[in-house]
Amino acid sequence: MGKTPDLFILAEHADLMEKLAQWDIAYHQNDAPIVDDATYDAAKKRALEIEELYPELAKNGASTHVGAAVSDKFTSVTHSVPMLSISDVFNEAEVADWFNKLTDNDLFIELKVDGVSYEARYEHGQLVRGLTRGSGVAGEDITENLKTISDIPQHLSGDYPDVIEVRGEVYMLRSDFIALNEMGGKQFANPRNAAAGSLRQLNPQITASRRLSAFGYTYGELSERTWKTQSEYFDKLESWGFKTTRRWAHHVHSMSEIQDVYNEIMAMRADIPFDIDGLVIKVNNVDLQEKMGARANSPRWEVAYKFPAARAITTLRDITIQVGRTGVLTPVAELEPINIGGVVVSRATLHNADEIGRLDVKIGDKIIVQRAGDVIPQIVGVAESLGQSEYKFPDVCPVCGAAVVQQAGQVARRCVNSLSCPAQRIGELEHFVSRHAFDIAGLGTKQLELFVELGWIKSPADIFTLIENHGNEIRNMDGFGDKSVSNLDNAIKVARNIDLHRFLYAIGIPEIGEVSAKLLAKSFGNLDAVRNATIDELKKIDGIGDVMATEIVSFFADTHNATVIDDLLKYVNVNDAEIVSSNDGILSCKKIVLTGTLSKYTRDEAKTILENLGARVQSSVSPKTDIVLAGAAAGSKLDRAQSFGIEIWSESDFDKIIGGGNNGNTNE
């Protein structure tokens, strides 16, 4: 613990987090997974292992991550109580490790339904709001869509609390999934995708036209609790009008009983009329659940015991290359279609060039395909080597023809044309207009895709002439009008004036996030100084290491990037930053971690105040942390800080340090 990670570990962790972020967006926002569950689980498990060894890497890491950000298609609503994920275990030994730490062996086992998490809020028995999990902190408002699902009552029956947020899973029966695909139109890969795509519709009538089902299994905010156990809560759910997985639930008290249930459900898995991917094992006593609490992203009182993947053998027809939003080239196996567990599979991921070499897979081989979680599968081995020649990974981008590079210590190979490659353009533009970058409301994914397809936005600079050149055409398009065009025009005009750190973040320098962008701005003061900085000058900044310094210099040295930036500067004024020495401010050089919820400040407000006082705000607690600012419902970070003897601040302590307030800004 506490060791400094070397460049190879940093590169591996960065690559894992980039992949997990990309996969989360595909799974949670786009309802179109690009890797199977086994691949995702393995990547997340490795990231967590690294973060356990090097706690400083937990900043925005796998140990604090849940789901994906809310899509801009929906209204974002903050969950009253965060919707956490469940820690996964994959074998009997891992289950035993969790079980042996318990103080109460009265356990309740439920099915892990492979669907989409929802939250339904009831006030005085009336359904008033429905949300997706989203990021876990905030979800998407799908109230009208939930009202179309008969398994989710609009009015509770029986004896219920004045306020209760019922949480559960929306899913689709296999028979309804088959019927939906037989109707024609969009073809869904599996029931989970069909359920997600149906639930997250902007038009509730489409949701209503599809046969969605739902279970209830837990809860968020509530005004009072009258049950003492999870099994009693199932009784309550059913009395209120919800369906549960009670039929398949079990009470157990030992590891042998857990494994017996696991084997029993595995044997009958195909006979259950909906997809499941494991079991959820919970401490039955709710008082004990509350006492055990949660880690950053998952409760301590439950685990998900995942089922193994299904496998089959087929022929590898071809290998094609996909270019992702960050420029990473991902090889995709084109397969002789084969039925695996009721799903016809014709494509599989090969991850990267190293994986192709490790597997020694050639076009024409008979290969072993694994499908886990009923999504896109992966190739796990060669059953019979029939191919003639080794696959040569491309050295130029198949989309734009730019060079493909592989940074030292990294597995991924990337297209260097980060600002203009069509395959990367949408993702880069989404980042460019995002809240912490240029913050241009009204330019979501749908709008960007449309304007790029029409050729109106070819590079970021084109955004600033969009209304001038095409305003009248946009007004006449479906979904637009005078007001929306006027609002977009105003947002673009406001964005023409931007602070240096936001500009540096917006242009998408590899390895540079919000914190690093602020460090650069405060250290150099103006854009020209950053553009001309040397590796040695950059490495003198506390927080900028070898990898970051090299990426920054390489980015600005690229002639294409230079042209794009110069074009932007024709329309944008970048405000210089005040150069701040690390010795400035009453909190200079203090490493501070925020945890819990503050009543008078948003997380961004508190972070900005601390940084302006010279502090380094970090996301994970380590022995090197100086102070932890703990708000309400602080969890594992506070526990960790106390174990290290780190100074703890309350919100009132924070007020005293900064002089008594934030001028009336609140979370309201």
The residues that are catalytic are: 112
> What is the Rg, in whole angstroms, of the alpha carbon atoms belonging to the chain?
26
d(CA 152, CA 129): 12
- The answer for 332, left when phi > 0, alpha when psi is -120 to 50, beta otherwise, is beta
CA-to-CA distance for 240 and 311, rounded, in angstroms? 41
Cα 417 off chain centre by: 25
Helix (H) or strand (E) holding 28: none
What are φ and ψ of residue 321, in 5° steps? -120, 130
Q: Is 256 exposed, middle or buried (0-12, 13-18, 19+ CB in 10 A)?
A: exposed
633/635 Cα distance (integer angstroms): 6
CB 435 within 8 A of CB 492: no
Mapped onto helix, strand or coil, the DSSP state of residue 335 is: strand
CB atoms closer than 10 angstroms to residue 432: 23
C-alpha span between 445 and 427 (Å, rounded): 8
Residue with tokens 């997340």: 44
Amino acid at 113: V
Q: How far is CA 484 from CA 432, 443, 467, 479, 620, in A?
A: 20, 11, 11, 9, 41
Do the beta carbons of residue 157 and residue 77 sit within 8 Å? Answer: no
Q: How far apart are the C-alpha atoms of 147 and 131, rounded to whole Å?
A: 12
Cβ contact 565:507 at 8 Å: yes
